Amino acid sequence: MSPRFSPIAAVALVALSSAASAQTVPGFSVTTYATVTDPVRLAQGLNGELYVGRDLLASGTSTPLKIWRVGAGGSPVVEVGNAPTPDPDVVALDVNGTISGVPGSVLVAGLVNSSLGRISAIHPDGSVATLFESNAWINISAMRFDHAGRLLFSAVDSDAVWVTTGNQPTILAQTPGPSPVWMTVGPDDSIYVSDEVGIVKRYASNGTMLDPLVANFGAFTAIDIAPGGPFGFELYGLRRSDGGLFRVLPRGVLQSVGTGFPTGTAISDILFGACGELYVAIHPQNKLLQIQGPSCACGAVQGADINDDGAVNASDLAILLGAWGTNDCESDFDGDGTVNALDLAVLLGAWS
């Protein structure tokens, strides 16, 4: 990955509670976004809402529960579905209904018991349907959709990444070594898997191993890829052993960007939102954090035709150069908070 993170000079030290330690991410604000009981994995909806998986214990149970939906802005927080599902700690939004058959359904994965796993769908009307059950994958640890609409999931007991387009899931990639715990999908549909000792591997969309050592965090680490904005476009990890937030630089170098997050089993997931904000689920504290930087508002990422005259030409170049070094949203195409050479490259690449 090419380095595209723009450091921000200001330092925001935000106390989240009366506790002695505070989460600190220089240049960013860290706030409590919502109070949510027993939060585990996260998924974002189309309108900024979050879907939150749930488990009574951070170490895991198979207790049936209802998942949460957190409205855009952090409220309301409501239960989803007419009935609980077993161990509903992993969630994903089936926007087009590719897997569930009903657009807008929330997929929920968990243990039925020690020898059976299940993926259910909670439809928009609240009804719950069982989609898949298997003893080949039992304990699903992460679910993500790729840009082709395939559902990908990792399962710790099978040490594999599985795939389905609506039919019975099949193995896409075997993950050698320690079991996969977190998974995310890159903009090119490559698949990043973080295992239980903190090694991140990268696979092609067809399951071929691309890089067996993208990074080594040395311990359980939740991962996700920033979609632009103040965090840039890199892979990030929040490590449980020391509560550190890291950006992965080329050649696997870890750059510390935040400290003071809870340790142990407290961190249950991280997820970048569509506007580049980062959400953190903290299980024992029953809350979600939001980390935001002072950049363009959501929706600022746009095409290079700044003046909307139907062509990318010298007029747009003049506007961009006039805004150079500022955070002008019209010219900050990648939403990283600064009009710079990256934005110039976008404009030149779209030159008419």
298 and 311 Cβ atoms separated by less than 8 Å: no
Pick from 245, 272, 292: which residue ends a domain?
292
pLDDT of the residue at 28 = 93
Which stretches of the chain drop beneath a pLDDT of 70?
Answer: 1-21, 295-303
90 with 153, same domain: the answer is: yes
pLDDT of the residue at 301 = 47
- For residue 107, give the amino acid letter: L
| Number of domains within the chain | 2
In a domain, 323, yes or no: yes
204 with 325, same domain: the answer is: no
pLDDT of the residue at 22 = 86
Angle (CA) 241-3-256 rounded to 5° is 25
With a CB cutoff of 8 Å and minimum separation 6, the contacts of 180 are 141, 142, 154, 155, 156, 159, 160, 161, 193, 194, 195, 196
72 with 144, same domain: the answer is: yes
Of 188, 181, 190, the closest CA to residue 217 belongs to 181
Would you state the structure tokens that stand for residue 174, as one six-digit string? 């075997």
pLDDT of the residue at 130 = 98
* 108 φ, ψ (degrees, to nearest 5): -130, 130
* 306 φ, ψ (degrees, to nearest 5): -65, -40
* 257 φ, ψ (degrees, to nearest 5): -125, -5
Letter string b/e over residues 277-292, b meaning 16 or more CB atoms within 10 A of that residue's CB: bbbbbbbebebbbbbb
217 with 315, same domain: the answer is: no
306 with 341, same domain: the answer is: yes
50 with 178, same domain: the answer is: yes
126 with 242, same domain: the answer is: yes
Q: Quote the DSSP letter at residue 168.
A: S
Q: What is the CATH number of the domain that holds 114?
A: 2.120.10.30
Q: pLDDT tens digit string along 90-127?
A: 999 999 999 999 999 999 999 999 999 999 999 999 99
In a domain, 248, yes or no: yes
For residue 322, the enclosing domain spans 301-352
pLDDT of the residue at 233 = 87
Q: How far apart are CA 324 and CA 342, in angstroms?
A: 11
In a domain, 22, yes or no: no
103 with 236, same domain: the answer is: yes
pLDDT of the residue at 298 = 60
pLDDT of the residue at 306 = 82
In a domain, 7, yes or no: no
Count of residues in the chain: 352
244 with 346, same domain: the answer is: no
Would you state the structure tokens that stand for residue 245, as one six-digit string? 């937030």
Q: What is the CATH number of the domain that holds 332?
A: 1.10.1330.10
Pick from 292, 317, 343: which residue ends a domain?
292
In a domain, 153, yes or no: yes
Q: How far apart are CA 74 and CA 80, in angstroms?
A: 16
Q: How far apart are CA 346 and CA 142, in angstroms?
A: 33
The CA R_g of the chain, rounded to the nearest whole Å, is 20
151 with 280, same domain: the answer is: yes
Torsion, CA 85, CA 87, CA 90, CA 96, rounded to 10:
-20
* 284 φ, ψ (degrees, to nearest 5): -70, -20
41 with 120, same domain: the answer is: yes
228 with 313, same domain: the answer is: no
In a domain, 155, yes or no: yes
Q: How far apart are CA 188 and CA 191, in angstroms?
A: 9
In a domain, 15, yes or no: no
Would you state the structure tokens that stand for residue 292, as one six-digit string? 């935001």
In a domain, 14, yes or no: no
